[in-house]
Amino acid sequence: MFLNTLLCFILFFLRQSLAASTTEPNEFTFNGFTGANLTLDGFASITSTGLLMLTNTSKEKVGHAFHPSPLYFKNLTNGTVFSFSTTFVFGIVSEDPVFSSFGLAFVISRTKDFSGATGSQYLGLFNLSNNGNSTNHVFAVELDTILNPEFQDINDNHVGIDINSLRSNWSYTAGYYADETSMYPTNLSLISRKAMQVWVEYDGEEMMLNVTLAPVPMAKPRKPLLSETIDLSSVFLDPMFVGFSSSTGPATAFHCVLGWSFKMNGAAEDLNYSLLPLLPSIKSTAKSKVLEIVLPIASAALVVIMIAMVVYFVRWRNKYAEDLEDWELEYGPHRFSYKDLFKATKGFKDKELLGIGGFGRVYKGVLPSSKLEVAVKKVSHESRQGLREFIAEVVTIGSLRHRNLVQLLGYCRRKGELLLVYDFMSNGSLDKFLYDQSKPTLDWATRFRIIKGVASGLLYLHEDCEQIVIHRDIKASNVLLDNEFNGRLGDFGLAKLYDHGADPQTTNIVGTMGYLAPELARTGKATTITDVFAFGTFMLEVACGRRPVESAGEDESLVLVDLVVKNWRRGTVVAIRDPRLGEEYVAEEMELVLKLGLLCSHPLPMARPSMRQVVQYLQGDATLPELSPTYLSISVVELLHNDGFDDFMSYPSSSTMTAASVVSGGR
């Protein structure tokens, strides 16, 4: 017993004197890493300029860099951890300015061997099975640039103190206190591609850990970002290794360390900024251009790319469960986090429900970060067919800007649901003002302005934007009114999701009865001219304050076009106007709108004007031709009948009306 104790003492004194006498460094400084003796693994490298690059722009990679020799952190007399201090300058240069990779961490660990660890959100430190296990003996300060709900991350830009786990014990949005009296820190963006400095200081006596962040070159802020009481004695074994770890995911970044100093029992030496290497710069390489050049030249490359695509596709399919896929990453700025939308709409509460449209429920929301008012539309998409193309289109559409289009801000996908985020329109949809008796009547000037506005929005979709966008579902309920009662067309392009890639034999044509052009039901092919047809019906609807098809008793329906045609034949076309307008209207404009509406709703596609012409007529830049008296004559309808028009009768519809009666009217 006594001997044993004695032996222990002897061993202990040996260790202590050894520790003191060896040249084991307990302080070091690297102003740039040229020639530095570090233990690197994974994708970590030291560049010719002396930059410690933990990861480069390769995807799903990990990199570690450790000081090669172990450090003794403990006072063996009583087992407490010594004070230590370290500072480093780092930079995260991500390829995409908005969407980065996972971040990097300063690490103090029992081992330099992290070969069992996972990259991505595990930062190359842990894996699914050992995350959170106290046998890890890993202390880390993470600079985390991705929000991982599984680790209860606070956001995608925070500094965290991690003990044996990526679920941070403490974390705070990246920033610094400009001075001691500041109540709140000034925010910093970790992925801003700028150099920043971190100080990690531990007071062994007070057991206090301070973490401070600041942009370079700024003197260390007096008030640390995080200042926590923590006993590291059970976390630290003796000896420990100090270094860095980082990982990339589907998006990539250069995670770099420019300089680093460390000191046990004292303040780490200041870094000399003038000696630090520069951060890499991102060249704006147009990938597609590169491919265009390379592909025709090297067919071998093509094979490699095809294999990669197969692998990619397989992974893409396996990742079905996740509603975020690699191909979506380039749409970073257009993607919203579900969490934000959930918060914005107070959990998609019924109270926030604005309405239920053809494609799904629409909720009002206020984005937590920007306080921007938005409308969030939930669209279910069971079929994944065409989804990718559709998202691409959504993003294209999101880049369309026109004062008569409801701005699509972005999207989010989750569990077979697509959430589309639109600019919020305070006055709701036009149909409410036309049919809801509790709403005030819109005067003619407003109605005419709305018609002209929607026409110019549609013209923009048809002709003026980069690619032709066919709306497919123009109607009063898809026209929204902003706070100045300007008409804005919503839901454009959405119909495409539903008939994309479907069998032409069984295609369910998207659109609303009464607005469907006859040839659309026959061929199933939406065109700009089928949009014009629907726009014609819309004009009649706004002028008359009536729905395109109204039921009038059993098996009876009133077709708006019929009524207008009847009045037109009698020479009293304006008599069909909305009675609520009274005499407060401009006769010429009313006549123009009604006649143009008829012309646009002409059963024969070639008789309809283009949207450009429509806009010209509405603005008085061109004179509307007189309608031909054969408009909707029996011969026209018969012609259509002979042309397989009977197909109409089998058209599946919940509406009481079939499109055939729209056309057969007006005889």
Ligand X SMILES: *[C@@H]1O[C@H](CO)[C@@H](O)[C@H](O)[C@H]1NC(C)=O
Judged by the rule CB under 6 A, the positions of this chain that interact with ligand X are: 37, 43, 45, 56-58, 68-69, 75, 77-78, 80, 116-117, 127, 129-130, 133, 135, 155, 163, 165, 167, 169, 173, 187, 201, 203, 205, 208, 210, 223-224, 227, 272, 274-275
Please report how close the Cβ of residue 364 comes to ligand X at its closest, in angstroms.
22
Please report how close the Cβ of residue 56 comes to ligand X at its closest, in angstroms.
4
Q: Residue 314 forms beta bridges with which residues?
A: none
Residue type, 226: L
**Which residue, 43 or 262, has its beta carbon nearer to ligand X?**
43
Contact 515, 537 (CB under 8 A): yes
**Which residue, 263 or 547, has its beta carbon nearer to ligand X?**
263
Catalytic residue among 162, 340, 473, 499: 473
Contact 395, 444 (CB under 8 A): no
Structure tokens at 112: 């330099």
Residues in Cβ contact with 552 at an 8 Å cutoff, skipping those fewer than 6 apart: 558
Q: Is 350 a catalytic residue?
A: no
Cβ count within 10 A of residue 305: 15
Rounded to 5 degrees, what are φ and ψ at 573? Answer: -60, -35
DSSP percent split of the chain into helix, strand, coil, nearest 5 = 35, 20, 45
Please report how close the Cβ of residue 557 comes to ligand X at its closest, in angstroms.
55
Contact 392, 335 (CB under 8 A): no
Please report how close the Cβ of residue 351 comes to ligand X at its closest, in angstroms.
25
Contact 64, 43 (CB under 8 A): no
Find the DSSP H helices in 88-165: none
Please report how close the Cβ of residue 101 comes to ligand X at its closest, in angstroms.
13
Please report how close the Cβ of residue 398 comes to ligand X at its closest, in angstroms.
23
**Which residue, 274 or 438, has its beta carbon nearer to ligand X?**
274
Structure tokens at 350: 């019924």
**Which residue, 274 or 467, has its beta carbon nearer to ligand X?**
274
**Which residue, 71 or 458, has its beta carbon nearer to ligand X?**
71
Residues in Cβ contact with 620 at an 8 Å cutoff, skipping those fewer than 6 apart: none
**Which residue, 208 or 574, has its beta carbon nearer to ligand X?**
208
**Which residue, 205 or 555, has its beta carbon nearer to ligand X?**
205
Please report how close the Cβ of residue 135 comes to ligand X at its closest, in angstroms.
4
Residues in Cβ contact with 199 at an 8 Å cutoff, skipping those fewer than 6 apart: 85, 86, 87, 210, 211, 212, 213, 220, 224, 268
CA angle 29, 34, 38 (to 5 degrees): 65
**Which residue, 208 or 513, has its beta carbon nearer to ligand X?**
208
Please report how close the Cβ of residue 665 comes to ligand X at its closest, in angstroms.
59
Nearest CA-CA partner of 223 in 266, 178, 254, 272: 178
**Which residue, 201 or 531, has its beta carbon nearer to ligand X?**
201
Question: Nearest residue to ligand X, using CB?
Answer: 116
Q: Residue 246 forms beta bridges with which residues?
A: 63, 104
**Which string of b and e fits 505-515 if b means at least 16 CB within 10 Å?**
eeeebbbbbbb
Burial class (CB in 10 A: 0-12, 13-18, 19+), 247: buried
**Which residue, 39 or 507, has its beta carbon nearer to ligand X?**
39
Residues in Cβ contact with 213 at an 8 Å cutoff, skipping those fewer than 6 apart: 159, 174, 175, 176, 188, 196, 197, 198, 199, 225
Please report how close the Cβ of residue 116 comes to ligand X at its closest, in angstroms.
3
Q: Is 289 annotated as a binding residue?
A: no
Give the pairing type, strands 353-356 and 360-366.
Answer: antiparallel
Cα gap 70→68, rounded to integer Å? 7
Residues in Cβ contact with 240 at an 8 Å cutoff, skipping those fewer than 6 apart: 70, 71, 73, 108, 109, 110, 137
Please report how close the Cβ of residue 55 comes to ligand X at its closest, in angstroms.
8
Where does 370-507 show beta strands of DSSP type E?
373-380, 408-414, 417-423, 479-481, 487-489
Cα gap 303→173, rounded to integer Å? 45
Residues designated catalytic? 473
Which amino acids are annotated as binding site for ATP, given as ranges? 378
Which amino acids are annotated as binding site, given as ranges? 378
